[in-house]
């Protein structure tokens, strides 16, 4: 691994011996990661490298496979990225919390270069400033179209659900993982999402991990919007972050019958009534490990054990709401019978204390215990921060030990 916080502008002429050494080490670099420090790669350094490189060096990093690029507050670090792109690149991540740059020509230039790579497998555009624009959308769609045979994972923030994007995603025959943030989509009707879901189910046959986030703006959202996704038989993880999505018992039964390989069922803004957990246990396969939803508890909870089926493999359930003192024992007993010992079950509003006192700790209850307990805890210092706070002198002493066997390059 090559470590160091930044490389500044070259002040001396790059000699033939320097290029020989550079060419030797550049063959070892497989991963580039940049972090949002105030220092970054200077444009002058990159220009000098490009202008003085010998003809034998076509790509500065000819074997790089992964680039994870975090923009600084000064987003002009983007142009320095282009010369680092290579036909061997398989994974590209771009993320930042900087202001909007969607109209900036540098953004478009970088994305246009990605469209010419021969075999990209992962594309993650996690920058808040990548707002949908007439210039940006075609550039991203061009990447998807050029990588339709190889791209396996696509993630995009502020996604705008339109015909062009839908058509480009539908051509990704190798797509396994899809993560879309719809905060940039304005026409969020049930029918539009139903059409998009049907496209995914029919055109992306090996899709297994779907995460759809920030869906707002529609009254009366129902599972009809996502029903076609049940046609994806090998689904392993479904996450739908949709405010006010109304789930019905028959929706869960349909999911359980269709997704026999499902491991994660996540609807964090939707309600699944507590008695319905027994229905999930009965209709879903033993592959299910995680359930995430708003799970309200009736005040007078009286479970029916006549057709009761416990979970066999669930390891995590969250989160129980409105556990009243008078129902804590019935709720705790129900959960204890439903899950295996040690299963993590989340509860809110002080319910952890009530459940623990009512039925003990056979279940791994977690969540809010006392309102003042969190305030007493000292913040934990992350050990990883120490590696960034290096003394400048130590960096110079280790200059000859820049590359290690994992082939990562970190700025």
pLDDT of 97: 58
Q: Is residue 240 within 8 Å of residue 267, measured between CB atoms?
A: yes
Percent of the chain having pLDDT more than 90?
A: 47
Q: What is the pLDDT of residues 27-72, one digit of tens each?
A: 999 999 877 554 456 666 777 778 888 888 889 999 999 999 877 6
Q: Which range (26-35, 183-192, 367-376, 388-397) has the least confidence?
A: 388-397
pLDDT > 90? residue 211: yes
The first and second tokens of residue 2, run together, are 């090559």
pLDDT digits (tens, 9 = 90+) for 245-299: 889 999 999 999 999 999 999 999 999 999 999 999 999 999 999 999 999 998 8
Residues 214/186, Cβ–Cβ less than 8 Å: no
Tokens for 362, please give them: 């056979």
Q: Which of these, 253, 254, 263, lies nearest to 288 by C-alpha position?
A: 263
Supply the pTM of this predicted model. 0.82
Indicate left, alpha or beta for 146 from its phi (over 0: left) and psi (-120 to 50: alpha): alpha
Higher pLDDT, 279 or 214: 279
Nearest to 92 by CA among 5, 152, 4: 152
- Range with lowest mean pLDDT among 2-6, 300-304, 351-355: 2-6
């Amino acid at each position: 691994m090559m470590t160091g916080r930044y490389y500044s502008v070259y002040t001396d002429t790059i000699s033939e011996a320097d290029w020989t050494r550079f060419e030797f080490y550049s063959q070892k670099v497989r991963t580039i990661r940049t972090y949002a420090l105030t220092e970054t790669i200077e444009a002058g350094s990159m220009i000098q490298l490009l202008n003085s490189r010998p003809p034998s060096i076509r790509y500065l990093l000819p074997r790089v496979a992964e680039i994870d690029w975090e923009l600084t507050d000064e987003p002009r670090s983007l142009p320095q990225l282009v010369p680092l792109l290579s036909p061997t690149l398989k994974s590209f991540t771009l993320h930042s919390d900087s202001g909007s740059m969607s109209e900036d020509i540098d953004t478009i230039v970088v994305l246009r270069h990605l469209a010419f790579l021969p075999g990209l497998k992962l594309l993650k555009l996690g920058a808040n400033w990548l707002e949908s624009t007439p210039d940006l959308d075609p550039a991203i769609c061009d990447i998807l179209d050029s990588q339709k045979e190889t791209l396996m994972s696509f993630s995009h923030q502020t996604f705008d659900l339109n015909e062009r994007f839908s058509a480009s995603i539908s051509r990704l025959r190798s797509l396994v993982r899809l993560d879309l943030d719809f905060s940039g989509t304005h026409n969020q009707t049930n029918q539009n999402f139903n059409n998009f879901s049907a496209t995914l189910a029919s055109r992306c046959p090996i899709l297994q991990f779907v995460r759809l986030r920030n869906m707002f703006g529609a009254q009366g959202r129902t599972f009809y919007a996502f029903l076609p996704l049940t046609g994806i038989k090998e689904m392993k993880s479904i996450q739908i972050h949709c405010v006010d999505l109304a789930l019905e018992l028959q929706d869960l039964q349909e999911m359980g019958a269709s997704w026999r390989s499902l491991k994660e069922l996540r609807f964090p803004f939707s309600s699944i009534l507590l008695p319905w957990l027994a229905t999930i246990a009965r209709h879903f396969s033993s592959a299910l490990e995680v359930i995430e939803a708003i799970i309200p508890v009736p005040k007078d909870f009286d479970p029916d054990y006549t057709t009761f089926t416990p979970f066999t493999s669930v390891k995590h359930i969250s989160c129980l709401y409105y556990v009243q003192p008078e129902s804590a024992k019935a709720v705790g007993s129900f959960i204890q019978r439903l899950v295996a010992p040690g299963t993590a079950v989340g509860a809110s509003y002080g319910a952890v204390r009530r459940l623990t006192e009512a039925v003990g700790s056979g279940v791994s209850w977690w969540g809010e215990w006392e309102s003042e307990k969190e305030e007493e805890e000292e913040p934990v210092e992350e050990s990883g921060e120490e590696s960034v706070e290096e003394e400048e002198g130590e960096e110079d002493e280790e200059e000859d030990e820049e590359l290690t066997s994992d082939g990562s390059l970190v700025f």
